[in-house]
Amino acid sequence: MVKFTQWIIALPLLASAQSVNTTVESRQNAFESIETLVDEAEDLLDSREVKWQKLLAVSTKLNVQGEIVLNAFPQGSHQNSRAKSRIWERWGHFESMMSQMDQGFKTLQKGSESQDARMALRGLETAADTCRDCHRSYRSFW
């Protein structure tokens, strides 16, 4: 027979496992969007006549998605995901890469607002430089 007290202990564990799954899903979705949006921003900046309104919209979205991933790595949320548990052993390093990405998105946005192609490109490159480095250290291959 299952004792009542065992249920009381098990319930919060179930609840937190579920919220971790939601967190993992939301950060994976956010990263998917980031990938698409970075491509869009690259194409827009590549063209001879930059469509600034479009670029501004894309950079605003990048900042929103960046903010989501920044807050989507609670301690130990590597189950059912490709995040390595090493993230939390080297949190300072992981976080600094993450904020470099966000900093890049912010610069991209500033550049888009002031229609400064150089600044926008610099921001985009700063952000894009972090993708592979971080994946190499903190994302598993499966």
Give SS3 for 76.
coil
Q: Is 131 in the site for ligand HEC (CB under 6 A)?
A: yes
Nearest by Cα to 104 from 37, 48, 29: 37
Task: Determine, following the binding rule CB under 6 A, whether residue 135 of this chain makes contact with ligand HEC.
Answer: yes
| Residue of the chain from 17, 18, 32, 85 that contacts ligand HEC (CB under 6 A) | 32
CA distances from 55 to 79, 96, 131 (A): 36, 26, 20
Cβ proximity to ligand HEC: between 31 and 121 the closer is 31
- Given candidates 20, 50, 57, 97, which one binds ligand HEC under the rule CB under 6 A? 97
CA 75 to chain centre: 16
> Residues with Cβ < 8 Å from 77, sequence gap 6 or more?
20, 23, 24, 83
Question: Does residue number 31 form part of the binding site for ligand HEC (CB under 6 A)?
Answer: yes
139 contacts ligand HEC (rule: CB under 6 A): yes
Residue for token digits 């903190």? 138
CB 106, min distance to ligand HEC, A: 13
The residues that touch ligand HEC, with contacts defined as CB under 6 A, are 24, 27-28, 31-32, 34-35, 38, 81-83, 94, 97-98, 101, 127-128, 130-131, 134-135, 138-139
